[in-house]
Amino acid sequence: MAKILIADDDPHIRQLLAFALEKAGFETAQAEDGEAALAQVAAARPDLLVLDINMPRMSGLDVCRQVRAASDLPILFLSSRDEEIDRVLGIELGADDYVVKPFSPREVTARVTAILRRARPAPAPTPPGQAAHGRLSLDVEAWQAAWDGAPLALTVTEFGILRTLAAAPNRVFSRDAIIDHLRGPGFAVTDRTVDSHVRNLRGKFAGVGAHDVIETRAGIGYRLGPCLGGRP
């Protein structure tokens, strides 16, 4: 039974969603503000976070940014009709979907179910157990990436993207192809979500002086770079 954390400063909305989700067979937990949401993510270890954008003490966008830096926890945003810019930013930060207020509890339940279904791991092409390209090395079985032998802390999705690119270093992968390799055909996610994970990957490698790990081919997608440490 999947656990859903509902983070919203409106107790009526929290209770309404908790009732609908529990009726659908989910377990729920609640948080009344952004800071409480982060604490609950650590303590309750939910399978999905329903996150309001406008909350006191810490906005939903800031919560999303901190959660996404550490994990691939699925996130469904709740937003008002006049928050289009925030919704776009939320997707760029790595949110999986959003629902506009006022909403139907049945719609939220359906979207939660769909996100969790997509998040289930699907068989993906697996390169050899050990792979090396330039100064980059991958241990596929251990889900570990290293630069010059020093491990880097990557999320499951970040490592999956890197593994996909490393499986065919000369190939340019479209965003759809990357998604298919990660989750299987039909995984519904925006291009911006893939871009967000690639941006996070580049940032982590840049922190160790690796600026040429992933190349962008305009209008096509991404490929593995030379991984020699130079700037692209």
User: Which stretches of the chain drop beneath a pLDDT of 50?
Assistant: 123-127, 185-188
pTM here is 0.54
Burial per residue of 62-73, b for 16 or more beta-carbon CB atoms within 10 angstroms, e otherwise: bbbebbbeeebb
- C-alpha to C-alpha distance for 17 and 197, rounded to whole angstroms: 29
Number of Cβ within 10 Å of residue 107's Cβ equals 12
Domains and CATH numbers, the chain: 3-119 (3.40.50.2300), 130-224 (1.10.10.10)
Q: What is the pLDDT of residues 60-85, one digit of tens each?
A: 889 998 998 888 899 999 887 656 66
| pLDDT digits 0-9 by tens, 163-176 | 999 988 889 999 88
Q: What are 133's strand-pairing partners?
A: 136
